[in-house]
Chains A and B, each alone.
Chain A
Amino acid sequence: MSRWIPLWLHKLGSPPIFYRFAGALRPWFLGLALIAGAVALYGGLVLAPADYQQGDAYRIIFIHVPSAWMGLFVYGVMAVASFIALVWRIKLAEAVAMESAPIGAAFTFITLVTGSLWGKPMWGTWWTWDARLTSELVLLFLYLGVIGLYHAFEDRRQGARAAAFLAIVGIINVPIVHFSVNWWNTLHQGSTVRILGPSKISGDMLWPLLTMMVATKLYYVASLFGRVRADLLELEGGKDWVRRIATGEVVPGEQA
Chain B
Amino acid sequence: MNQASVSHACAAVLRRDLTLAWRRRGDIAMPVLYALIVATLFPFALGPEDALLQRIAGGVVLVTVLLAMLLALDAMFRSDIEDGSLEQLVLAPQPLALMLGMKILAHWLTTALPLIVIAPLLAGMLHLPMAVMGVLLLALLLATPMLSLLGAMLVALTAGTRRSGMLLALMLLPLCVPVVIFAAGAVAAAQQGLPWIAPIAWLGAALALALVLAPLACATALRIALDA
Contact = CB atoms under 8 A, between A and B. Distances in A.
Contact of B177 (A148, A165, A169, A177): A177
A183 B227 CA distance: 41
Interface stretch (A113-121, A153-161, A219-227, A247-255): A153-161
B174 A142 contact: yes
A173 B175 contact: yes
Interface string B173-214: 111011001100100000000000000000000000000000
Nearest to B153: A169
Contacts of A177: 174, 177-178
Given A158-B228, A162-B224, A165-B224, A144 B160 contact: no
Contact of B171 (A86, A134, A145): A145
A158 B177 contact: no
Interface residues of B, number: 26
- Which label, helix, strand, loop or mixed, suits the secondary structure of the B interface? helix
Nearest to A184: B181
Interface in A139-172: 139, 141-142, 144-145, 148-149, 152-153, 155, 158, 161-162, 165-166, 169-170
Bin the interface of chain A by size.
Answer: 20 to 34
Given A165-B224, A169-B217, A152 B178 contact: no
A84 interface: no
Interface of A: 86, 134, 138-139, 141-142, 144-145, 148-149, 152-153, 155, 158, 161-162, 165-166, 169-170, 173, 176-177, 179-181, 183-184
Given A158-B224, A158-B228, A177-B174, 16 more contacts: A138-B174, A141-B174, A142-B174, A145-B167, A152-B158, A152-B164, A153-B161, A155-B160, A162-B160, A162-B225, A165-B220, A166-B171, A179-B178, A180-B181, A183-B181, A184-B181
